[in-house]
Amino acid sequence: MTPVVKSNGAEIPALGFGTWELRGASAVQAVRAALDAGYRHIDTAAMYANEAQVGEAIRSHPTPREEIFITTKVWATDAGDGPFQRSAEASLKRLGVDQVDLLLVHWPSHGMSIKDQILPLCDAKKRGYTRHIGISNFSPEQVEQAVKFSDTPIVETILLDRKDLPSAGAGETPIVGLAPAVGNAIFHATGMRIRALPMVPNGLSSPNPQHATS
């Protein structure tokens, strides 16, 4: 069984399949092969331009949807109240699902305050677009601000080089987006670390990461 990161009700498979640079029929084939190989966390993004193919692969695979953890991300150009939610809605439509398991701010927008980027993320969860929310590619200072303004637990992902994946720091569990060979193609291997930022008594998330695996 794939280990999971557990925090505040979230159970995120600790081994994930990254789909960056996968396009068209190759994306469908690769995701299906990943599911065949036992992956149960599929990572995509609006910016990857492959959500439709990822969704097709998931729908056509015999693995039940409830056993597959889907992560997608909203790009920085769609930051802010209104554009963010519309981008999330479009991602759901392309994926062919009513809800994803984790929705991330893909990259912080430097032309907007962190508060104005996090509040729409929280709203997307309230609307039922996602079970869990998170951030990606934020600096430590931006993480602290995101935690301050989020009214629900958030997850942080940190992109790593493949060589860095084996060593996880305190409070971090590796998620490996490692594409297997499909036919004659071996896709680019990437990875990320994830840390769940738990709630504190006042209802806001805490910047002190905690995690458990099983």
Mean pLDDT of the chain: 78
Residue 53's pLDDT band (boundaries 50, 70, 90)? Answer: very high
- State what percent of residues in the chain have pLDDT above 90: 56
The pLDDT assigned to 16 comes to 82
Q: Is the pLDDT of residue 199 over 50?
A: no
The pLDDT assigned to 201 comes to 32
Q: Greater confidence, 5 or 71?
A: 71
Which whole number is the average pLDDT over 166-176? 39
Distance between CA atoms of 87 and 81, rounded to whole angstroms?
Answer: 11
Task: State both tokens at 92.
Answer: 């759901």
Output the CA–CA distances (angstroms, integers) from residue 170 to 140, 194, 209, 210, in the order listed.
15, 11, 8, 8
Residue 7's pLDDT band (boundaries 50, 70, 90)? Answer: low
- Let me know if 129 is a catalytic residue: no
Q: Greater confidence, 152 or 115?
A: 115
Question: Do the beta carbons of residue 66 and residue 97 sit within 8 Å?
Answer: no
Least confident of 91-105, 143-157, 180-194: 180-194
**In this structure, which topology does domain 17-213 adopt according to CATH?**
TIM Barrel (3.20.20)
Which whole number is the average pLDDT over 132-147? 90
Q: Is the pLDDT of residue 209 over 60?
A: no
Catalytic option among 39, 48, 69, 149: 48
Residues present in the chain in total: 214
pTM of the predicted protein model:
0.78
Q: Are strands 15-18 and 173-177 parallel, antiparallel or unpaired?
A: parallel
Which whole number is the average pLDDT over 158-187? 38
Least confident of 119-123, 132-136, 197-201: 197-201
SS3 per-residue string spanning 24-92: HHHHHHHHHHHHHCCCCEEECCHHHCCHHHHHHHHHHCCCCHHHCEEEEEECHHHCCCCHHHHHHHHHH
The pLDDT assigned to 196 comes to 52
Segments making up each domain of the chain, as ranges: 17-213
